[in-house]
């Protein structure tokens, strides 16, 4: 039995449906991210798990216990908000120990627990400071320590790193994931940051229009997207419009602007109008084995790689070339492009209402 189970969960506000019939199972000790753009329903889902919002339909079970209508404080969960929600008039120790005090934990035991979690998040020695005396990263650690001090069954993180700068956010991804693994605590993260989700998660639930568009490991979600939305939202991709000419073994032959591409169909329906996808890093500059050719219209250097836009006969292609120490051809020059058939992905075109 899964540790956390959402069955048939929906949330409606009058005529507006925020969440539509979500089924989700989370294993004990798993780190799951709810990933998607603003308005996709990820925060609403988290708040229903936390007990701040009551579902319109469905049930939520935690370790076999029905908690659908339980009060938030009875669910045994720790929540870290985007704003951290620290008490400005309390010290770090006061903030971290506040929930324990409300539970009437004795002072000595409370002090021991607070010291334990402050060491865990590398804030030992800062217990007497106030939030205004801390950096953004330190305030975030206080919020995490406060949640962990309660020894929750489930840790819920609502975009807790969105206020940090890029470098600190990257460091916190690694630190928080290490803490989660060390404690073995089941964790759900809400984020719109693709890198954050892929860096930290065991699995990712890509959300779109109140539903889960894809649920899989970060690698599978990136390499084998199951919907057009998942393909375009998770990382950058090239999209080519085509039509299936014939199905041949494990591949389908797809006509794209007069060029035939052999695309693995992966057991999906392979007929009619389709979109073909390939990641920019899977396209390389080539001469002898070029699959397409064109003119470089844009060339941008971003340190570890060069980003190119190339206008070709089958459409504009983005190319991410690693920085090998020498710059690629300049804008305006003609180049050949190559890729492996196995790096192509194909999905049926979606209708305007989002359904294929």
The model's confidence at residue 355, banded by pLDDT at 50, 70 and 90, is very low
- Tens digits of residue pLDDT in 4-29: 999 999 999 999 999 999 999 999 99
Residues 240 and 217 both lie in one domain: no
Whether 64 and 194 map to the same domain: the answer is yes
Residues 110 and 243 in one domain: no
pLDDT digits (tens, 9 = 90+) for 135-169: 888 888 899 999 999 999 999 999 888 878 888 88
Q: Are residues 269 and 131 in the same domain?
A: no
Confidence band for 323, pLDDT divided at 50, 70 and 90: very high
Which CATH number covers residue 179? Answer: 3.40.50.300
Per residue in 72-116, pLDDT (tens digit) is: 989 989 999 887 788 999 999 999 999 999 889 999 999 999 999
Helix axes 136-149, 92-102, angle to 10 degrees: 20
Residue 8, phi-psi category: left (phi > 0), alpha (psi -120 to 50), beta (remainder):
left
- The span from the CA of 72 to the CA of 78, in Å, is 10
Q: Give the closest residue to 161 by CA, choosing from 170, 169, 171, 153.
A: 169
Looking at the fold, whether 251 and 184 belong to one and the same domain comes out as: no
Give me the half-sphere count of Cα atoms (radius 13 Å) on the Cβ side of residue 247.
Answer: 11
Instruction: Please give the Cα distance from 283 to 316 (Å, whole number).
Output: 12
Q: What percent of the chain is modeled with pLDDT above 90?
A: 74
Question: What band does 294 get if pLDDT is binned at 50, 70 and 90?
Answer: very high
pLDDT band at residue 352 under the 50/70/90 scheme: low
Encode pLDDT of 43-71 as tens digits.
999 999 999 999 999 999 999 999 999 99
Q: Does the reported pTM lie above 0.85?
A: yes
- If you write DSSP's letter for every residue of 220-258 in order, what string do you get? HHHHS-SSHHHHHHSS--EEEEEEEEEEETTEEEEEETT
Give tens-digit pLDDT for 180-213. Answer: 999 999 999 999 999 999 999 999 999 999 999 9
Would you state the pLDDT for residue 171? 84
Q: According to the model, what pLDDT value does residue 310 have?
A: 98
In this prediction, residue 351 carries a pLDDT of: 64
pLDDT for 63:
95
Is pLDDT above 90 for 353? no
Same domain, 186 and 264: no
CATH number of the domain residue 296 falls in? 2.40.50.140
- Contacts for 65 with CB less than 8 Å, ≥ 6 apart: none
Mean pLDDT of the region 277-306: 94
In sequence order, the β-bridge partners of residue 10 are 57
SS3 161: coil
Cα–Cα distance measured from residue 87 to residue 135, given in angstroms and rounded to the nearest whole number: 15
Q: Are 150 and 122 within one domain?
A: yes
* Rounded average pLDDT over 299-321: 96
Are both 64 and 150 inside the same structural domain? Answer: yes
pLDDT at residue 354, rounded to an integer: 45
340: pLDDT strictly greater than 80: yes
Report residue 356's pLDDT band, with 50, 70 and 90 as the boundaries: very low
> pLDDT digits over 226-241, tens only?
888 998 898 899 999 9
Q: How far, in Å, CA of 77 to CA of 162, rounded?
A: 21
Q: Say if residue 252 is in the same domain as residue 211.
A: no
Q: Would strands 186-191 and 31-35 be described as parallel, antiparallel, or unpaired?
A: parallel
The domain total for the chain is 3
Residue 249's pLDDT band (boundaries 50, 70, 90)? confident
Full domain range(s) for residue 117: 4-228
């Amino acid at each position: 039995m899964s540790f956390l189970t959402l069955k048939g969960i929906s949330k409606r506000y009058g005529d507006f449906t925020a969440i539509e019939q979500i089924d989700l199972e989370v294993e004990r000790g798993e780190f799951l991210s709810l990933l998607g753009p603003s308005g996709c329903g990820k925060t609403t889902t988290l708040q229903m798990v936390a007990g701040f919002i009551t579902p319109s339909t469905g049930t939520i079970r935690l370790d076999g216990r029905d908690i659908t209508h339980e009060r938030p404080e009875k669910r045994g969960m720790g929540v870290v908000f985007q704003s951290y929600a620290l008490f400005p008039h309390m010290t770090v120790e006061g903030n971290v120990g506040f929930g324990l005090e409300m539970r009437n934990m004795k002072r000595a035991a409370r002090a021991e627990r607070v010291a334990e979690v402050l060491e865990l998040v590398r804030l030992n020695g800062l217990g007497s400071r106030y939030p205004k005396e801390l950096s953004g990263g330190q305030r975030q650690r206080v919020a995490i320590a406060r949640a962990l001090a309660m020894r929750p069954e489930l840790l819920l993180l609502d975009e807790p790193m969105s206020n940090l700068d890029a470098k600190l956010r990257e460091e916190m991804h690694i630190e928080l994931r290490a803490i989660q693994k060390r404690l073995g605590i089941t964790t759900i993260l809400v984020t719109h940051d693709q890198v954050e989700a892929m860096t930290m998660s065991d699995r990712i639930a890509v959300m779109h229009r109140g539903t889960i568009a894809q649920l899989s490991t970060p690698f599978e979600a990136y390499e084998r997207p199951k919907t057009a939305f998942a393909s375009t939202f998770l990382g950058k991709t090239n999209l080519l419009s085509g039509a299936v000419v014939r199905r041949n073994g494990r591949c389908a032959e797809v006509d794209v602007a007069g060029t035939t591409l052999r695309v693995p169909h992966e057991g999906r329906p392979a007929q009619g109008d389709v979109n073909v996808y390939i990641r920019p890093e899977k396209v390389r500059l080539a001469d002898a084995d070029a699959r397409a050719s064109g003119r470089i219209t844009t060339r941008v250097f971003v340190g570890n790689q060069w980003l190119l836009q190339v206008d070709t006969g089958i459409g504009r292609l983005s190319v991410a070339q690693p920085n090998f120490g020498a710059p690629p051809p300049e804008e305006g020059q003609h180049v050949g492009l190559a890729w492996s058939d196995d790096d192509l992905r194909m999905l049926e075109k979606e209708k305007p209402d989002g359904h294929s």
